[in-house]
Structure 1
């Protein structure tokens, strides 16, 4: 074998053997970059963590689900930052927001916190993109501040007849008994279990939850006795139904609304999307994602970006 052929083959083999390490490094960099860019806003509600991408007069507000945080929207933020000033906060009681003891973590209080955050960021109106319990907060925000919402994209989330969903009753019971934080803490020492249980229930491909991503989601929830108590309180505040009595008001909304729904979700099914489609007078219809489960937004950011841009042009 000629020397140059040997060197070529050796380089190819080394590149192939390095591929897994490069993939892991890329995932690590993704979390590290997001962590390094995290910002905080000091509000009467506490020190609210948020991510921000892009600039310009038009803004979009991304609301995450539980037990996630703003990292859920990282792919969408990168894809949409050329079109909007993208803002993704961590809800009180979740993520990296630092909340004093005694602060209400109910959905109504979360909506008030968002208004205060937008005021501090000098942002008057927003296009909202929301997921899971964040969708419940988005609906309350729309009713309290209709003049501040240009459009609303709802992905698998609570609706008035289905909030909190019966399917999460075991989680709510653990929160009531004070054991949910302990169970979540196990994710930090057994990431394979986290992927096989939580991950498999809410992601099409739970393998995308690297050990570092699991740590970024779970660690703040169990980082202190106060944070554990607030994690429980966040879930306790989901009952009784925070959306009770809002249907008639939502029927009068003039805001364009688009449903983008994971059709494989066993918690918020397509029936919930159809309810919203019939509820909002200015509904822009439904896009179903066949493989999508509850947190498909993290796995299919191209779809979120595509649908958001269409809605914003409507």
Structure 2
């Protein structure tokens, strides 16, 4: 290779490296822009349970999107974008999660979260809603549906707690850490080391199909508020501790009478909530509209496949 060819090769390599660097920078900037845009939409509903943070898009009949642990309403951002032409789409943050501001000693149990949702809907003047739920939000959705059946038009349940699998056994170590008031350092580690968060030992690596696509800005938006103060660290621990008692066993008779149209859309790659529990719901709920499987989908697949959420929601809603 002569000197001119060598220099040309170096220039090509340098150009490719520069483009790759620009791509990384562009991706980081896009993720930051996305979280900032979502944060700009955030509103607060004052209730007896505190100031409930939420994002709302669209108009018409309400649809309520319920996130899981340790996420917040940002999980549903792309689903809201797709479904806002058809519904008044609302994604609240649960007490102890996200950007909701609740009293320091507020009860954070699934039942208290259920009661909060009723007060939240009352505050927004919403009589009934379609509910889309994931993870621990799915347990709360089931409680809400049997306790307020007149307020739930439809249920779209993705991988979540069901019957005896509430909480799943793999969560017990984390729950016990919460009971001991010692879970928050684990969350801090995810913030300090996003690469760890995306590894197979981290929360993102364990719950997303493509963890490397989850940007640092997204991790920051999810996890930063959970450790932002002594109050929030305490609430994170107490949220986990409150999951130890299973509230779903007691409502099995009510679920067997629940006629609400319900569709299960379930990722097959989720070790916490296997497909067998979607099938249990299908057999148990009189209003079941069957099960759709998302091949390889881990716990938080709805964030990665909002097209599937939108397609299934519109079908369930008769659109």
Which of the five TM-score ranges fits, normalised by the shorter chain? over 0.9
- Correspondent of 1:161 among 159, 164, 172: 164
| 3-state secondary structure, aligned to 1:284 | strand
Match of 2:7 in 1: none
Deviations along 1:129-184, whole A, 9 cap, x unmatched?
Answer: 00010000001100111001000010000111111111111111211122211110
Matches within 5 A, 1:238-249: 238-249=243-254
Q: Report deviation, 1:27.
A: 1.3
How far apart in 2 are the matches of 1:39 and 1:15?
40
How far apart in 1 are the matches of 2:26 and 2:95?
35
Match of 1:265 in 2: 270
Deviations along 1:181-240, whole A, 9 cap, x unmatched?
Answer: 111011121110011121121110001221111111111101111111111111111121
Q: Is the 8 A contact 2:181 2:238 kept in 1?
A: no
- Correspondent of 1:179 among 169, 179, 182: 182
Match of 1:100 in 2: 103
Q: Report deviation, 1:254.
A: 1.1
| 3-state secondary structure, aligned to 1:50 | strand
Q: Is the 8 A contact 2:143 2:248 kept in 1?
A: yes
Match of 1:199 in 2: 204
Deviations along 1:96-149, whole A, 9 cap, x unmatched?
Answer: 101102211111111111111111111111000000100000011001110010
Q: Is the 8 A contact 2:28 2:217 kept in 1?
A: no
Q: Is the 8 A contact 2:73 2:92 kept in 1?
A: yes
Match of 2:31 in 1: 27
| 3-state secondary structure, aligned to 1:73 | helix
How far apart in 1 are the matches of 2:191 and 2:16?
34
Q: Does 2:280 align with 1:295?
A: no
- Correspondent of 1:38 among 28, 34, 42: 42
Match of 2:58 in 1: 54
Give the TM-score, by structure 1 length.
0.93
Q: Is the 8 A contact 2:154 2:316 kept in 1?
A: yes
Match of 1:76 in 2: 79
| 3-state secondary structure, aligned to 1:245 | helix
Q: Report deviation, 1:13.
A: 8.1
> Residues 306, 15 of structure 1: CA spacing in aligned structure 2 closer, same or farther, 3 A cutoff?
farther
Deviations along 1:35-91, whole A, 9 cap, x unmatched?
Answer: 1111111111001100101012x1100000000011110110001000000011000
How far apart in 2 are the matches of 1:277 and 1:119?
30
Which stretches of structure 1, 4 residues or more, deviate above 4 A after TM superposition?
A: 12-17
Q: Does 2:152 align with 1:133?
A: no
Match of 1:146 in 2: 149
Q: Report deviation, 1:260.
A: 0.4
How far apart in 1 are the matches of 2:137 and 2:33?
27
Q: Is the 8 A contact 2:145 2:152 kept in 1?
A: yes
Match of 2:119 in 1: 116
> Residues 244, 305 of structure 1: CA spacing in aligned structure 2 closer, same or farther, 3 A cutoff?
same
